[in-house]
Amino acid sequence: MEINRRHFTYGLAAGTLLSSLPAAAQEKRLGYCIVGLGRISMGHFMPACKMSQRSRVTALVSGHPDKAAKMAQEYDVPTKNLYNYDDFDKIAGNPDIDAVYIALPNNMHAEYTIRAANAGKHVLCEKPMATTVKDSQNMIAACKAANKRLMIAYRCQYEPTNLLAIKMIRDGTLGTIQAIESANGFNEKAGEWRLDKKMAGGGPLMDVGIYSLNACRYLIGEEPVKFSAYATVIDQDGRFNTVEENDGWTMRFPSGVVASCNTTYGANMPGFFRVHGSKGMIHMEPAFAYEGIRLKAEIHGQAPVDQSEEEKDPAQFVREADYFAVCVFSNQEPKTNGQEGLRDMQHMEQIYKSAGRTMG
């Protein structure tokens, strides 16, 4: 089965937007202010900006001066563009900063998105969008009032192999979709901020389970209308005093498709999804990793499909950062905008409600 992925990758969408820009704008790189120097920013997003032709790191916000100074030297960020959380609002007067990339604990996403918008900057915010539906709505309102773009960092929605799965489903290659299965999780160590509900908003559902939730939605292009969920704690070792260890849930979609999902902080659970249709099945594993994404498909009457994404980390972050840059320069609404993030927040609220828990 020959499938040409080039026709529906990020490159086509971003390239179309880019070609409509004036020549001077096509050469411009978006200046990102990195808010929060942690694993995902320093290990993935910032190296991506260094590799990018559309993005660059121009400012840093951190509560650790030594770390900020070290990163500033590596990324040629001038001392005047180093901020802490108290003087963050001063970014308003800095023309080097076009947008902020927010890589903070979940409960800080709303505050710094709103402050960034008020400072006149566009926002690329990591997922989950926030810890409550209300905060998510406030983020959208602040960016709208400031006429600034808000994008949630759903990098898998720009990753070619995930886009291949979507295209196969939309083209009817699998026939009528009947069911989806997905899981994602890992064994979280004690002391991590993700185990503090005040900071995280919830357990693994808010962190890695959201990948399965979002995937089910973008794979079939529908919003779930019914949830049944369970949340449990198996390991009584002190890690899970405020958040759940495991979440399992089913979702029914308007078409009748049922998705079954699991996520955990208690075991290594490689991220995957399987989509079952009347003509065959897609299995992606890993589906959500930073590299090595692999798709297998068995379609009745056709040769098996086995395709792997050969890009290496941080290529997915390059694509994500550059897509947002092009959206800003072309004044286009990002595909994974604030409304997309809000929908996941609303669905997770319902999952927690079904499981007898609360979010936030």
Q: Which residues are catalytic?
A: 127, 211
Token couple for 308: 């792997």
Measured at the alpha carbon of residue 183, what is the angle toward residues 337 and 304, in degrees to the nearest 5?
95
Q: Which helix (H) or strand (E) holds 116?
A: helix 109-118
Q: What's the rounded Cα separation, in Å, for the pair 91 and 231?
A: 41
Residues in contact with 251: Cβ distance below 8 Å, sequence separation at least 6, in sequence order = 213, 216, 224, 226, 227, 258, 259, 261, 347
Contact 143, 322 (CB under 8 A): no
Residues in contact with 49: Cβ distance below 8 Å, sequence separation at least 6, in sequence order = 32, 55, 56, 57, 75, 318, 321
Contact 119, 147 (CB under 8 A): no
Q: What's the rounded Cα separation, in Å, for the pair 128 and 137?
A: 13
Sign of the Cα pseudo-torsion (51, 56, 62, 67, in order): positive
By CB neighbour count within 10 A (0-12 exposed, 13-18 middle, 19+ buried), where does 233 fall? Answer: middle
